[in-house]
Structure 1
Amino acid sequence: MNHFARKILIAGLAAMTLSMGTAFAADWRDNPYGLVYDNAITENVQGKVNIHPVTYELQGRKIAANVYTPANYNPKNSYAAIVVAHPNGGVKEQVAGLYAQKLAEAGYITIAADASFQGASGGEPRHTDVPYFRTEDIHGMADFISTYPGVDTNRIAALGICGGGGYTLNAAKSDKRFKSVATISMFNSGRVRREGYMDNAKDTVAERQKAASDARAERVLTGSIPLTANNDITKVTDEQLAKIPTDLYREGVIYYGREYHHPNSTFAYTTESLTELMAWDATDQINLINVPLLMIAGEKADSLYMTEDAFKKATGTKDKELYLIPGATHIQTYYVPKYVDQITKKLVEFYGRTLK
C-alpha cells in the first residue's frame, strides 16, 4: 500500500468513527468513576441508575468491580442480577460497563469486574490471562452479587463480551446459578491463541508452545516475565494501523487505543499464559450448558466464525438463539449507538423471558 492509499484508508477510518457517533475520544479523567463509554454515569442521583465501586476477595486477590443498581433501587425489593465479563484487554470502565449500565436501566442489578491480574484488580504476575482464573472471576462475580441487598439468587444470569464471552460459556458449563447466558461478539481465546486468528497460525503451534514454556522457565530462573503483544497500543501509528489486515484488530486499536482508551486496558498478556491458553478451548464440553443461551454477533464481524462454531456445538440446550446484527463488525458492537440499542433491546427481551 502506497503512502496516498494509506492516507485514504486512515481518513476513511476516521470518518467511519465520526459517523458512528464518536466525535471526540472519551477521556477517563473526565469521569469521576473513570468510565469511558458514551452517556456514562457521572454522579449518583436519587431515583436514577447508580454506580457503586466495590472490592472483594477472590482466592486471596482483591477484585475491583462496579455494581449498577436500577432507578429507585430499594434493597428491600427483589431484583434479578446479571454479571458482565469484559473482553480480553478490556476493563470494567469500557464496554462491560456500558452494557451493565444499560441493563441496570432496564431494572437489573448488574456487576462488571476487572479480571484477576488485570485492571484495578490484584494478582501477580500482572497481565496473566489464564482460563482458570478468568472463569473463576465470573464465578466470583456471582458470589459477590448473590449477597448484594435485594438480589434474588434464583434469578442470576451471565453476559460475556468478546473474550469474556468465551470464559462466560466456560463458567456456565458448571455454575448452575446462572439461569440464562448471553454473549456478544464471543471470542474463543484458546482457539485463537492456539491456531491463530481466523485459524491462520496452525503451522506454528509447537513453536509457540515452546516459547511459552521457555517464558515460564525464564520466570523461574531469572524472575523476568516476558509479555506477548503490544503493551501500549496508544503508540500505534496511522501507518501501522493501516497495515492491520483484520477488522477486529484494526478497529480494536482505534477503540482501545484512541476513542475509548483507559490506562488500565492493554493488549498485553504474559507469554507464559499461552501454556494454559493453547491447551484450552471455550467449546470443550459446551454441551454442559443446559440453560437458555443467546449468542449475539455482528453480521460483518471477521470473528463471527467463533460464535457460529460455539452455537453449533451447544447441544445441551434447546432454548438457544444466534442473533446477528446487520452491518456490524466485532468492535462496532461495543459502542456504535444503533448497534448497542439493538443489542440491548434483544438482551432485555431475553433476560426478561428467562429470569421471570
Structure 2
Amino acid sequence: MKNITSIIAVAMTTIATDTVQAQYHQKAQQNPYSLVYDGAITSNIKGEVNIHPVSYKLNGIDIAANVYTPANYDASRKYPAIVVAHPNGGVKEQTAGLYGQRLAEAGYITLVADASCQGGSGGEPRHTDKPQYRTEDIKGMADFITHYPGVDSDRLGALGICGGGGYTLKAAQSDKRLKAVATLSMFNSGEVRRNGFQNAQVNTVEERLQQATKARAQEVAGGKIIYAGVASIADEEIEKTSTDLYREGLMYYYRTHAHPNSTFLYTMSSLMDLMTWDATDQIELLNQPLLMIAGSKADSKYMTDEAFRKATNAKKKELFLLDGATHIETYWKPEYVKSAVAKLVNFYQENL
C-alpha cells in the first residue's frame, strides 16, 4: 500500500489543470458564485442572507473575497463580524464559505477570502504557501471588514478551518482586533510539513530542506517552479490512502466538492518557511477567548490537543468535540456542521 506521505511529497514541474477542470464539480458550474457546498446561495433575495463578491489590495496583491450579510441587513446598523480563513488547498467557495453563510444566518457579517497567491486572489508564484503570507491574509481581512458598512469594529471574531486554524492562532497572537478566536479541525502546517503527518517524516527533515533550498535556487535563477503535492489523483490511489485526513481530503477536493481554483499543490520552496514555523510558537501571547473544535475521530486531533494545551493565557478556552466526526467530515456533513455552528454562535454571542 502506498503511503500518503509519499504521494504528497511528489515534486511536480507542471500543474495538471486540465484534470482539475475536468472534475470541476457540477455545483460550481451551476452556481453563479461558483459555490460548491450544499445549501449555497444562488441569488441575492431581499430580506435574506446575501453574498457580495469583493476585492481589495493587500501588500499590492488583489484579494478575492466574499462578504455574507445577515437577513434584513441594514448598513446604518452595527453588526458583529467574523473573518473566516480557509483550509490548506481550499478556496472561499468550499467549507469556509459554508461556515461564512451559516454564521451570517445567525446575524453576523462574515468575510471569506482566498489567500494570497491562491484561489481567485492574485500573487506570484501561484500556490505559494508561506505562513507569513497566510497570517498576513487574516490581518488583511480584519483591515477590510472593519471598514465595511454596518460592521462594529469592536466586535470582530475569527474562525480558522484546518490550516486556516493554525494561521488564525498565529494572527491572533499579535492582532488584538480579533476579540474572539475559534478554530475548526486545526492543522499546524509547520509541524506537518516539518515532521510529516503524525510525525511520519521526522527522519527526513534535512533531506527535504535541501530539496526546498534547491527549488528556491532554481526559481530565482529563472528556472521552472517545482511543486510539492498533487494536481490530480486516480480513484485507486485515493482508495489506497491509509489516513482518513488525506483519503477523505482527496475525495473532498478532487471529487465531491471540487473547484478549479482549489489544489493540493504548493511551491516546494515554501517548505523553507513552513518547516521553520509553528502555529504554537509564542501562543502564550494569545489572550483572547478561545474555542477549538475538532472531530472526536479525527486523525488530526493531536494538533488541536497540543495547541489547546499550550494556549495557557487564552481566556475562557474550551475544547469542543464533534462526536464521531473525522477531520474532513467537519467540513460538510450536515449534522456536524449544524453542531459546530451552534457552538460557534454561542461562543461569539458570549464574547463579542
- TM-score of the aligned structures, taking structure 1 as reference length: 0.91
Which residue does 2:19 correspond to in 1?
A: none
- Please tell me the residue identity of whatever aligns with 1:50: N
What is the identity percentage for the equivalent residue pairs of Structure 1 and Structure 2?
64
Which residue does 1:37 correspond to in 2?
A: 37
* Aligned counterparts, 1:172-191, within 5 A: 172-191=172-191
Which residue does 2:312 correspond to in 1?
A: 315
| Distance of 2:212 and 2:27 partners within structure 1 | 35
Give, in angstroms, the shift of residue 220 of structure 1. 1.5
Give, in angstroms, the shift of residue 26 of structure 1. 5.0
Give, in angstroms, the shift of residue 239 of structure 1. 1.5
* Aligned counterparts, 1:68-217, within 5 A: 68-217=68-217
Give, in angstroms, the shift of residue 238 of structure 1. 2.3
Give, in angstroms, the shift of residue 245 of structure 1. 0.6
Which residue does 1:20 correspond to in 2?
A: none
| Distance of 2:132 and 2:74 partners within structure 1 | 35
| Distance of 2:220 and 2:133 partners within structure 1 | 20
| Distance of 1:238 and 1:290 partners within structure 2 | 45
Give SS of 2:77's match: coil
Give, in angstroms, the shift of residue 66 of structure 1. 0.1
Which residue does 1:61 correspond to in 2?
A: 61
Which residue does 2:9 correspond to in 1?
A: none
RMSD, aligned α-carbons: 0.8
Which residue does 2:12 correspond to in 1?
A: none
| Distance of 2:234 and 2:218 partners within structure 1 | 31
Q: Deviations over 1:39-93 (max 9, x none)?
A: 0000000000000000000000000000000000000001000000000000000
Give SS of 2:121's match: coil
Which of 202, 225, 249 is equivalent to 1:252? 249
Which residue does 1:14 correspond to in 2?
A: none
* Higher RCO (CA 8 Å, separation ≥ 6 residues): 2
Which residue does 2:333 correspond to in 1?
A: 336
Give, in angstroms, the shift of residue 36 of structure 1. 0.2
Q: Deviations over 1:230-257 (max 9, x none)?
A: 123xxx2221112101000000011111
Give, in angstroms, the shift of residue 27 of structure 1. 2.4
Give, in angstroms, the shift of residue 125 of structure 1. 0.3
| Distance of 2:26 and 2:104 partners within structure 1 | 22
Q: Deviations over 1:208-234 (max 9, x none)?
A: 0000000001112233110001123xx
Which blocks of at least 5 consecutive residues in structure 2 are unaligned? 2-24
| Distance of 1:257 and 1:216 partners within structure 2 | 28
| Distance of 1:227 and 1:306 partners within structure 2 | 25
Contact 1:26 1:37 in 2 (8 A): no
- Please tell me the residue identity of whatever aligns with 2:256: E
Q: How many residues align?
A: 329
- Please tell me the residue identity of whatever aligns with 2:324: G
Q: Deviations over 1:275-321 (max 9, x none)?
A: 00000000000011101000000000000000000000000124100
Give SS of 2:181's match: strand
- Please tell me the residue identity of whatever aligns with 2:62: K
Give, in angstroms, the shift of residue 343 of structure 1. 0.3
| Distance of 1:86 and 1:223 partners within structure 2 | 30
Which residue does 1:302 correspond to in 2?
A: 299
| Distance of 1:258 and 1:239 partners within structure 2 | 13
| Distance of 1:239 and 1:122 partners within structure 2 | 34
- Please tell me the residue identity of whatever aligns with 1:192: V
- Please tell me the residue identity of whatever aligns with 2:262: S
| Distance of 1:75 and 1:26 partners within structure 2 | 34
Contact 1:26 1:259 in 2 (8 A): no
- Please tell me the residue identity of whatever aligns with 1:188: N
| Distance of 1:223 and 1:82 partners within structure 2 | 41
Give SS of 2:242's match: coil
Which blocks of at least 5 consecutive residues in structure 1 are unaligned? 2-24
Whether 2:343 is the aligned partner of 1:346: answer yes
Which residue does 1:283 correspond to in 2?
A: 280
